[in-house]
Structure 1
Amino acid sequence: MTPTTPSIALVGMGPRGISLVERLGAHLLDRPPAPIELHLIDDSDIGAGRIWDTSQTKTLCMNTLAGAVTLFTEPTSTTTAPVVEGPTLYEWIQLLRGESAGIAPAKKRLFDSHPASVAPAFAAELATTRPESNPSRALYGAYLHWVYEVALAQLPDSVTVIEHHSRVISVAQAGDHDVLTLSDGSHVSATATALAYGWQVPALTDSEAHLAESGLHWVRPDNPVEQPLSEVPAGIPVLVRGLGMGFFDAMALLTIGRGGIFHEDSSTRSGLRYEPSGREPHLVVSSGRGYPYLPKSEYHSLPPAANLPRFSAALASLGPEIDFGTEVLPHLLRDAYAAYYQTQDRVAPAALKLPLPEILTRLDAAPITSSDFFGACREINAALAGVSTDPLDLAHWVRPFADFSGGSVDDFLASALAHDIAEAVAAADSPLKAALWTISAARKPASIAASPGRLTWDSRSDSYSEFMAFGQMVGSGPPLFRTRELLALVEARLVSFLGPHPNLTFDDTEFTLSTKYASASSPWLIDAWMHQPDIRHSTDPLALSLAGRVRAFRDHERRTGSPETTWERLVVHPDGGVDKRLHILGIPTYAQWPDTTISPMPGTDPLMLQETDRTAGSLLQAARG
């Protein structure tokens, strides 16, 4: 039966779902009051979501700084509905502590009009958090809960809010509305629907299906809080594939989470000494690159703005189709090398064997004919040979084991981790970190320039994907304390490494990971990463129910794993028609739209908030017909 009152269903009540509620309220500020039912659906923590659940362990932290995340629009935001100013995460923490100096009056008024209540368990963390701190995910969840309560309070009385603590298992068309079936057996009728469900684990690949059927203990790729890590036994070697953020989370859960303690100890290379609880496994780790993600710099402030003059000029002159390797990559690499030598000129001028202007002139004239990231770096290295006693070699960081001459992989990486820690401590005074931060900062404008489908297919699948993966490794690594902890665990012989490009085999009794340098076996294997969502290969009932209604986004006629949507995030049907009601936004649309996984950063007119603003306006239009 068609709903008698216009109704909107929001599926997924993490940050995007919360922002949708807030933006719906903002859009309704300028509209005459009219009845609307708003159904908010999540089987996890409504107002925080699964990733930011406030009840989770405080061992897991954000990979974003307290002063660098918000969920509110700002006066400079390019939203279509009115801006509602609210505190960033750190400003919210300050206001909870009674500190209001420097906080915009509008933000303080909003806070004062909606008193926050935070569990006493957060008191110690609240007291010590700085703008450059990495808060616990649970504390961010508490902030999200408060934003959610504020968003609900902004809705006019004509909006009736109904929360559903259940999972949507299907969305079906029923004439002029959708019927959502929930796992508790209930149904929701909606004249407009938005799916903001975040990460969905795709179906097993063929190789993963063999692992699942092996009879051994395989922990499949997933968010660490969803992985059954509590079942991993103590005292035995456990194989791990992945050295990114999933690994660092798993490492923390299997050590600190099991009662281990890190003590400050200035006599060690890490500055820490690990006191085991006796309940830890021994992690034997490998990955494609074989090298852990680099730690973030310890600036004791928010990161500085990166200088990208060559890259920015190149982006401004690009045509409708882009070859990333030839039209973009050379310019961003020149900016990275320039940042290195400009910083070296400031902190260690004696290292330069030529005046800085001459080095930059030679850099800008360097012939770069390779569209391959590694090859392009080597060409710049050759052009700048002899300019410094301590030159930059970005090619080394693309392939860290290219310089490994043999011996102990653990010794090689332990020394490398100690070097990484020293560079992160040097922070703004590290020429290397200046170069790597330039690479990291270029990812967002590069992804915007590349969407939707502007890159040639070859350059997207080769130089662009390699650049983005490299930028992830050097710029989206763990906070420095996690790298210190990793080195302390290496020194405690609780973590060891195998090197790059692992080959996995298994028999009836154990898995074996082998590289050209080492191998190890265990009945346990943890895959410490997350797959991108893929609507083409899903076992989730909700995704399967959309078959025939949603088509995959095509990039140069090749299907991707993302649903195709319009600018307003309405889904596109297989025949090319646009759906009148159903919206999908956020992480699943990664192949078509840029910046789908980054939390909104203050002062940047965040794409996520632009997205939720447009979607909220479209939902209201669809709901009312």
Structure 2
Amino acid sequence: MSDVNGSPHVYRIAIVGSGPRGLAVLERIAARLQGLPRRSRIDIHLIDSTEVGCGRIWRTDQDDFYRMNTVADEVTMFSGPADDGPIRPGAGPSLAEWWRSRDPRVGSNEYAPRKLYGRYMRFVLDTTKKTLPPAVSLAGIHDRVIDVRREAEVFHVRLEGGRTLQADSVVLATGHGLPRLKGNELAFADFAARRPGIQYIRSGSPAEMNLEGIPAGAPTGVIGLGLSFYDVVFSLTEGRQGKFLEVADNVWSYQPSGHEPLIIAGSRSGLPLLARGRNQKAPDYSYQPTLFKADEILARSSGRPLDFRSEVAPWVLAEMHLVYFSTLVRGLAGASSESAFVKEVRERGTSDPLAIRDVAKAFGVHAEPVDFFALARPFDGLSYGSPENFTQQVIAFLRTDLRHAEAGNRLDPLKAALDALRDTRSEIRKLVDFSGLTAQSHANDFLGWFSPRSSMLSSGPPRERVYQLLALLEAGIVRIAGPATRFGVRESTGRFTIGSPAVAGSDTELDALIDARIPGTDLSLETSRLMANLRDRGMLTEYVNRNGDGAFSTGGVATTGAPFHPVGRDGSSPEGLYVIGIPTENTRWFTFVGSGRPGPWNEFFNDADEIAKHILSRAG
């Protein structure tokens, strides 16, 4: 291929963001180029403002106590397993295999520090660079992209350092943003700015939060009880030279350093994220749903938008109950009886948990259906006489949950059923992505009701972290305020406040308030110069679900289907521009996944490959 002057044409690719999504696109481009003869050149620029090769969340200079919440055996950035040939894009070790090659003491189903995953990602990048064909170059650029303009089919990628790159294709894989504060968060920040000695720390990556200035013993509030809550808690305890001691199997105590603040946390549920079950599944395990099949639901709907609560949720719960009762049947009567039970339920084709229960009775199991989603809100409608009383209830609930978690995600009926939420995400995506639901159901039933409960039940931390949280609760270092936690300010004393209407005596004044929720995706509130510039010029627009009565502005970037070109204000979709991952959250669902999984591809590698395939088709 030559240009109009007869010189060999150079096809230029810019990947903005080198976290998991950007690296996956690069890996798939490189894998597709393996062994292909090329006479024309391809130049690839991988650009990251934090650390080229792993990005901001997985940066390699963070503390060891920030851990992943997926076992290392289930994590890979190579789109195929290692084979008899050299390690290369499309054929390489999982995170666990790479980790064990460096430390033989690492066992199965261990949770890696995030910084170690960052190092693994940089290994993937180095491997990719070394194995590219001679006509393909790869340059990593440590700089911030502040704008992308399109002129005559060429994109001009402007960097903060003053350089401008030209590219034929640009992939926006920018990851987590920091949206502009609004509502209560803005009010809290303004309050702290007017009060000397009072601190408000906005949501973001806990590894980047400025927590050092919180004094020892200072009453410190934490908004949210999810994964970031655990990170903040361990930053303020283990990160301040406190020691966790395992005094017996699964029994931990905490030895304070004296530098810890008093941590008081809360959320709507009043319950910290529950522990993942002990993993008993193979790394390449792939679950095949029996009752909850997206294609069958779509066939019944004849193409109209769905109501999640009435048309989807019953089948999700049916699948969970099938797993719950089949695990009970297997434990009582063995694998052959389990197969027979599943076959009979499948033939009935029911979503009624009572009907599934009745089939189980014929196999000797006498148990009742479980209100799974009530497990995510166990304290709703209850009241407690004191913070101490509520703390004991939280401890008791977490201990019960940990007993289930220890039994494992294959042998424990409850944890096996909850794992079905995680295992059926791809089916859910088929139904909800790109306005598969009505606008009202999308906003209220799916994102407002289902998603937070699903995260509570299936996206938890390693069991060890929950045991250690129990030690902190028992030591009085951490306290949970209660359900329906309220955060506020008290002008008369110049301090923040926290309390729960369900817990008598829980109202407490605070010197510091930390928002430990993951920032939501909202294009209209983007503070990134790049995303704001593209939004303001109309190259990026917000996805709006207009199905049914009213409309729901999702906050996510509007894109086409694969290969995910952004939809501009004028309706155009530039073929050389792509958006992948978290900026499109709520246009699509659960784009937070930060790795592939060994075995059959899920959407992580599928999405990356669709973009890689389209780019290379344009490159000729």
- Please tell me the TM-score bracket, short chain as reference: 0.7 to 0.9
Return the alpha-carbon distance in structure 2 between the equivalents of residues 621 and 330 of structure 1: 42
Call closer, same or farther: CA 1:531–1:515 in 2, change over 3 Å. Answer: same
The yes-or-no answer on 1:562 pairing with 2:575 is: no
Q: 2:156 aligns with which of 156, 169, 179?
A: 179
Return the alpha-carbon distance in structure 2 between the equivalents of residues 271 and 421 of structure 1: 11
Deviations 1:139-194 (A, max 9, x none): 11111111101111232222233332111112223333222222222222222211
SS at match of 1:213: helix
Structure 1 contact 9–41 (Cα < 8 Å) conserved: yes
Deviations 1:111-143 (A, max 9, x none): xxxxxxxxxxxxxxx333223111111111111
Call closer, same or farther: CA 1:418–1:8 in 2, change over 3 Å. Answer: same
Alignment correspondent of 1:579: 574
Q: 2:253 aligns with which of 273, 277, 281?
A: 273
The yes-or-no answer on 1:399 pairing with 2:377 is: yes
% identical aligned pairs: 31
Alignment correspondent of 1:496: 479
Q: Give 1:42 deviation, angstroms.
A: 1.0
Alignment correspondent of 1:619: 615
Alignment correspondent of 2:321: 337
Alignment correspondent of 1:25: 30
Q: Give 1:434 deviation, angstroms.
A: 2.3
SS at match of 2:523: coil
Q: 2:214 aligns with which of 212, 229, 232?
A: 232
Structure 2 contact 13–168 (Cα < 8 Å) conserved: yes
Call closer, same or farther: CA 1:367–1:146 in 2, change over 3 Å. Answer: closer
Letter in 1 for 2:312: V
Q: 2:422 aligns with which of 440, 449, 464?
A: 440
Letter in 2 for 1:148: L
The yes-or-no answer on 1:312 pairing with 2:293 is: yes
Return the alpha-carbon distance in structure 1 between the equivalents of residues 483 and 325 of structure 2: 30
- TM-score by structure 1 length? 0.84
Alignment correspondent of 1:605: 601
Q: Give 1:302 deviation, angstroms.
A: 4.5
Q: Give 1:623 deviation, angstroms.
A: 5.8
Return the alpha-carbon distance in structure 1 between the equivalents of residues 134 and 519 of structure 2: 42
Alignment correspondent of 2:336: none
Alignment correspondent of 1:292: 272
Return the alpha-carbon distance in structure 1 between the equivalents of residues 89 and 130 of structure 2: 15
Return the alpha-carbon distance in structure 1 between the equivalents of residues 181 and 324 of structure 2: 43
Return the alpha-carbon distance in structure 1 between the equivalents of residues 67 and 310 of structure 2: 38
Deviates more, 1:274-283 or 1:500-509: 500-509
Q: How does 1:441-520 map to 2 (within 5 A)?
A: 441-465=423-447, 466-508=449-491, 509-516=494-501, 517=503, 518-520=506-508
Q: Between Structure 1 and Structure 2, how many residues are aligned?
A: 572
Q: Give 1:487 deviation, angstroms.
A: 0.3
Structure 2 contact 380–483 (Cα < 8 Å) conserved: no
Deviations 1:188-211 (A, max 9, x none): 222221111111111111322211
Deviations 1:242-299 (A, max 9, x none): 11100011111111111111111239xx610111111111110110111111101123
SS at match of 1:570: coil
SS at match of 1:228: coil
Aligned-residue CA RMSD in angstroms?
3.3
Q: 1:247 aligns with which of 209, 222, 229?
A: 229
Q: Give 1:527 deviation, angstroms.
A: 0.8
SS at match of 2:134: coil
Alignment correspondent of 2:85: none
Q: Give 1:401 deviation, angstroms.
A: 0.5
Return the alpha-carbon distance in structure 1 between the equivalents of residues 394 and 164 of structure 2: 54
Q: Give 1:604 deviation, angstroms.
A: 2.8
- TM-score by structure 2 length? 0.84
Deviates more, 1:494-503 or 1:552-561: 552-561
Structure 2 contact 325–360 (Cα < 8 Å) conserved: no
Alignment correspondent of 2:65: 59
Q: 1:414 aligns with which of 379, 395, 403?
A: 395
Structure 1 contact 293–478 (Cα < 8 Å) conserved: yes
Q: Give 1:479 deviation, angstroms.
A: 0.5
Letter in 1 for 2:137: T
SS at match of 1:578: coil
Q: Give 1:446 deviation, angstroms.
A: 0.8
Deviations 1:200-234 (A, max 9, x none): 11111132221111123111111111211222221
Call closer, same or farther: CA 1:62–1:395 in 2, change over 3 Å. Answer: closer
SS at match of 1:222: coil
Q: Give 1:587 deviation, angstroms.
A: 1.4
Structure 1 contact 192–623 (Cα < 8 Å) conserved: no
Return the alpha-carbon distance in structure 1 between the equivalents of residues 509 and 78 of structure 2: 49
Call closer, same or farther: CA 1:288–1:378 in 2, change over 3 Å. Answer: farther
Letter in 1 for 2:67: C
Call closer, same or farther: CA 1:341–1:553 in 2, change over 3 Å. Answer: same
Letter in 1 for 2:12: S
Q: Give 1:404 deviation, angstroms.
A: 3.6
Return the alpha-carbon distance in structure 1 between the equivalents of residues 321 and 42 of structure 2: 56
Q: 2:407 aligns with which of 419, 426, 441?
A: 426
SS at match of 1:284: strand
Letter in 2 for 1:35: R
Q: Give 1:417 deviation, angstroms.
A: 1.2
Return the alpha-carbon distance in structure 2 between the equivalents of residues 383 and 343 of structure 1: 13
Q: How does 1:17-166 map to 2 (within 5 A)?
A: 17-29=22-34, 30=36, 32-74=38-80, 84-94=90-100, 96-97=101-102, 126-166=103-143
Letter in 2 for 1:607: E
SS at match of 1:572: coil
Structure 1 contact 444–594 (Cα < 8 Å) conserved: no
Q: Give 1:75 deviation, angstroms.
A: 8.2
Return the alpha-carbon distance in structure 2 between the equivalents of residues 395 and 596 of structure 1: 22
Return the alpha-carbon distance in structure 2 between the equivalents of residues 17 and 165 of structure 1: 14
Structure 1 contact 562–588 (Cα < 8 Å) conserved: yes
SS at match of 1:161: strand
Alignment correspondent of 1:122: none
Q: Give 1:89 deviation, angstroms.
A: 1.3
Structure 1 contact 587–597 (Cα < 8 Å) conserved: yes
Structure 2 contact 373–453 (Cα < 8 Å) conserved: no
SS at match of 2:482: strand
Alignment correspondent of 2:337: none
SS at match of 1:340: helix
Letter in 2 for 1:609: F
Return the alpha-carbon distance in structure 2 between the equivalents of residues 72 and 367 of structure 1: 38
Return the alpha-carbon distance in structure 1 between the equivalents of residues 514 and 358 of structure 2: 41
Structure 2 contact 558–587 (Cα < 8 Å) conserved: yes
Return the alpha-carbon distance in structure 2 between the equivalents of residues 577 and 366 of structure 1: 44
Return the alpha-carbon distance in structure 2 between the equivalents of residues 379 and 503 of structure 1: 41
Letter in 2 for 1:613: D
Call closer, same or farther: CA 1:252–1:552 in 2, change over 3 Å. Answer: same
